[in-house]
């Protein structure tokens, strides 16, 4: 994902998810929603993504819960047919990740590792994306644990209710 498309996706999805149902109807590229997930689509270039925001966030430093400012916290599954990208999992924690750190993802007791760059994290390979998407479709919650560049440990819990329908919807909209 290019920095431009990352910023666009983040801004649009974050605005809609944070705004709630009333404002969400005003966003033209939101094309579907089911329980805790939504689908967005843009046409130039063609891109579709299923996205959700966390139901719970816990921030700790030195073993104590702390209040911190974070930007949008989102979990995505994206399709970009022009770049031959299908079902790419990504996560933004709303802050720059600690350099060289990884994000730990747990879905139903199965652990996955995401590699970080700036404010984003991804699995290492498309095969890992596929494994994570399969787990998302079968799971109830995804818990992502990460460390910010300031040393804050974050734990974000995402509901997976509606994920299967929205992931399949995004995929069908962007099938190449």
Write down the domain spans for the chain.
3-173
pLDDT for res 80: 94
**Predicted structure pTM score:** 0.85
Residues of the chain with pLDDT under 50: 1-12, 14-26
Q: Beta partners for 146?
A: 154
Using alpha carbons, select from 53, 32, 31, 6 the residue that is nearest to residue 160. Answer: 53
pLDDT at 93: 96
CA–CA dist 170, 137 (Å, integer): 14
Topology adopted by domain 3-173: Immunoglobulin-like (2.60.40)
Distances (CA, A) of 53 to 43, 64, 74, 82: 24, 24, 5, 27
Confidence at residue 24, expressed as pLDDT on a 0 to 100 scale: 38
Q: Checking DSSP bridges between strand 37-43 and strand 64-65, what pairing results, if any?
A: unpaired
């Amino acid at each position: 994902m290019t920095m431009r498309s990352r910023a666009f996706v983040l801004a649009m999805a974050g605005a809609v998810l944070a705004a709630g149902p009333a404002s969400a109807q005003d966003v033209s590229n939101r094309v579907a929603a089911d329980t805790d997930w939504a689908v967005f689509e843009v046409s130039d270039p063609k891109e579709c993504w299923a996205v959700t925001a966390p139901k719970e966030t816990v921030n700790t430093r030195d073993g104590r819960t702390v209040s911190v400012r974070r930007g949008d916290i989102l979990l995505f599954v994206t399709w970009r047919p022009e770049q031959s990208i299908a079902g790419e999992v990504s996560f933004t924690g709303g802050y720059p990740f600690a350099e060289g750190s990884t994000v730990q993802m747990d879905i139903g007791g199965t652990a996955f590792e995401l590699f970080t760059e700036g404010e984003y994290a991804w699995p290492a390979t498309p095969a890992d994306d596929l494994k994570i998407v399969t787990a998302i479709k079968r799971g109830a919650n995804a818990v992502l644990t990460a460390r910010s560049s300031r040393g804050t440990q974050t734990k974000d819990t995402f509901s997976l209710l509606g994920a299967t329908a929205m992931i399949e919807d995004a995929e069908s909209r962007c099938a190449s």
